[in-house]
Amino acid sequence: MSGDVGSRTHGPAGPYDDSVTPRDLKVQLREQRLIVDWQDGQRGEYSLAQLRRICPCATCRTERESNRSNPLAILRADPSGVTVTSARLVGNYAIQFFWSDGHNTGIFDFRFLRSLAAGSP
């Protein structure tokens, strides 16, 4: 396929794309950072605090969208001071974080993370 990023093949699970497939993931709890080395040789480094601010779960998205009309509104789920306590892989397509305030419904798809690294969330 012309114009595609990364190499693609079809396997039992469907299309494979090097650009959104991690070769290595490191969650640095002390530094509160996620480091992803992608199969295509690129590296993405993410602040966990920043990821929390853009959590893709329905609750966080709805709250952010409803507060856009009032920039002075205080979010109920204000992530200030919240840290990641653990993380787990979700299948072979995402990572889920467990936060110190009990939040854990945000699943960060690898395509989403890669788009952040490219500067286009």
Question: pLDDT tens for residues 27-81?
Answer: 999 999 999 999 999 999 999 999 999 999 998 888 888 777 666 665 555 567 8
Helix, coil or strand: residue 59: helix
How high is the pLDDT of residue 12? 40
As a whole number of angstroms, the distance between CA 91 and CA 37 comes to 18
Greater pLDDT, 71 or 13? 71
Q: Measure Cα distances from 112 to 2, 17, 56, 71, 96 in Å.
A: 22, 13, 9, 25, 13
- Domains of the chain by range and CATH? 8-117 (3.30.2020.30)
How high is the pLDDT of residue 62? 87
Q: Does residue 50 contact residue 108 with C-beta atoms inside 8 Å? A: no
* pTM higher than the cut 0.85: no
Identify the burial level of 114 via C-beta atoms within 10 angstroms of its C-beta, where 0-12 means exposed, 13-18 middle and 19 or more buried. Answer: buried
**Residue in the structure block whose two tokens are 């990821």:** 51
The mean pLDDT of the chain is 81
Contacts of range 58-65, beta carbons closer than 8 Å, 24 or more positions apart: 58/105, 59/105, 60/106
Supply φ then ψ for residue 26, to 5 degrees: -130, 120
* pLDDT (mean) for 20-30: 95
> In this model, does residue 9 exceed pLDDT 50?
no
